[in-house]
Amino acid sequence: MTETKLFEKEQEINAMGLTKMLLGLDSGLYYYSRLNKDEEDIDIVLAMSIYITSTLIMEQLPDHLAALKRFKILEVLDVDLELMTNVKFWMKNYKLKSDMEAMNDQTLHERGFEISYKGFKPETTWELYQAIERNILDIVEMLTEVQQILNDAPAGLYENFYLSEKAAVDAKPVKARFRKWKRDVGVATPELLKDKEMQELVYLLTQKVMRHVVDISYRESGQVDLEALKQYMVNGFEFPKEFPICYARFRRFVKEGDTLQLNYDSYGQYLHEAYYKLTPDEHQALIEFDIMLDLIHQEMAKQVQTDALNSVENRIRQSIAQLMEERYNDKPLFNKRSHWQAVYRILVDKKYCTDSNFDGFDVFIKRVMPDKVNKPYMKESVKQISQTDFWKPFNEWKLDSTTSKTSKPFERMAVIALRFKEILEENGL
């Protein structure tokens, strides 16, 4: 037989996913177990190919396992781990072992082979088989640990997986669709936003993307109130017959709360387990739905902030109006333009305005100032506070004889500041 040189150099092999390599190893072992006639050359070449595949798996599987321990999924394995964690599954009918043992009467060199792969140079077929077996035993051990981690579902594992999948989805089309909806409705009120939230959910569920959820109980489906849900839908909408089951399945992935919040751990676990069962469009729909929820909730939060800001500004306006009605020795307490310094000082102390930002205060006070005041507001009058006893926080005010000729102006300003502070606090500020 002519001498054949195989795998003499360490070959540059294109990176393959673990799924493909595990399936490739399975296929190689299965094909070997089905060989009918003795073809020693084919046996040895195929055995070496099996060794190389198992070695490549051994190069990647530790990293995959280490990542799982850091709550990160590098690849969704599309394999049956129940089978692949069983040594007997890999050994098939033990033909490989018996053949390699039978050919051990000669060295590979005597049979015309010179085998070398990444420093491994077996001298006999039995040495080659033992290397394959060691790899398979190590693969089974690590796959068992992989399976255990996935089954235990430690907190954060599937959430991290889901968020990495979400980050890979282009959010621009969803954002464009949300902007168009806001234009169409005119004013996105809290009620319309809640309608939009539920309409998006119903649209998602009508695509039957939850069909891979473990069957639910009659109790779960019986808790679905279609009449309550119908109020959020457009006129004339009819729920599909199977909708209660779809909705009951989805509820397993929702957090309790006023808004629709996904539990990323359970939602991510479903996406992981159904990864190769869902179509690309369904996978996209599950994530785009969440992106739409983010946009809806951001808009809701923005409105809450706006409402809170409006509420604060209204109360400040009312407080200033009340201050203007206060009396001091049967005369208006607030009766000079310089008294706006007391208003400025207290609003800065309470952090509704920024110290020394007189332009910002000017914009703010003009926005909240009531229609009628005892003395018109002027920014220049307030700016002069930096040259007075009142530039420090109110609780540090102290009469300075070098800057105040008499105590009366100081005392009047202190009374105004104190009273304004009390009025604000009476109004919950």
The per-residue pLDDT for range 384-408, each reduced to its tens digit, is 888 887 888 999 888 776 655 556 7
Strands (E), 173-301: 254-255, 261-262
Strands (E), 288-417: 327-328, 331-332
How many C-beta atoms surround the C-beta of residue 336 within 10 A? 15
Percent of the chain with pLDDT over 90: 62
How many C-beta atoms surround the C-beta of residue 72 within 10 A? 14
Q: How confident is the model at residue 68 (pLDDT cuts 50, 70, 90)?
A: very high
Q: Is residue 46's pLDDT more than 50? A: yes
pLDDT confidence of residue 39: 67
**CA dihedral for 7, 12, 13, 17, sign (positive or negative):** positive
- Specify the length of the chain in residues: 429
pTM metric for this prediction: 0.72
| Alpha-carbon span 74 to 17, nearest angstrom | 10
The per-residue pLDDT for range 173-218, each reduced to its tens digit, is 999 999 999 999 988 999 999 999 999 999 999 999 999 998 889 8
Q: What are phi and psi of 81, to 5 degrees?
A: -70, -25
Q: Is residue 38's pLDDT more than 80? A: no
Q: Is residue 223's pLDDT more than 50? A: yes
